[in-house]
């Protein structure tokens, strides 16, 4: 982790939201981004309307949520330190810390 860099959490469920809040509370990152493959947060627990309300509230708290996104590659430097992620659409996002908060079922899909 590099102070002031971007930290990210993969997974928009309850554990992902808690991990993102913990990263924000550390006050070591310039920004924290939550990456989720679904169009709304807590998609296993909430319907679309309720999930979008949660999205609105966490965004107001300063969390940047990237919905409908999937990571294709984690990119590292010559010392094997995380530098960025590349999404399936080819876009790259700089990050120095990644926390995966997904169930094993999500990893196999």
**Residue 4 confidence (pLDDT):** 79
Query: Would the CA dihedral through 21, 73, 97, 93 be positive or negative?
Result: negative
CB 89 within 8 A of CB 73: no
pLDDT at 3: 78
CATH placement of domain 6-107: 3.50.50.60
Looking at residue 77, what is its pLDDT? Answer: 95
Sequence spans of domains, the chain: 6-107
| Neighbouring C-alpha atoms within 13 Å toward the C-beta of 59 | 12
Using only C-alpha atoms, the chain has a radius of gyration, in whole angstroms, of 14
Tens of pLDDT along 59-74? 999 999 999 999 999 9
Is residue 42 within 8 A of residue 17, CB to CB? The reply is yes
């Amino acid at each position: 982790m590099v102070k002031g860099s971007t930290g990210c959490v993969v997974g928009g469920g309850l554990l992902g939201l808690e991990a993102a809040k913990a990263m924000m509370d550390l006050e070591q990152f310039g920004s924290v981004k939550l990456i989720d493959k679904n169009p709304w947060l807590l998609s296993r627990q909430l319907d679309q309307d309720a999930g979008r309300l949660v999205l609105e509230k966490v965004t107001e708290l300063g969390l940047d949520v990237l919905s409908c996104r999937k990571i294709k590659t984690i990119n590292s430097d010559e010392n094997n330190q995380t530098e960025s992620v590349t999404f399936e659409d080819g876009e790259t996002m700089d990050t120095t810390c990644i926390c995966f908060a997904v169930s094993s079922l999500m990893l196999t899909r």
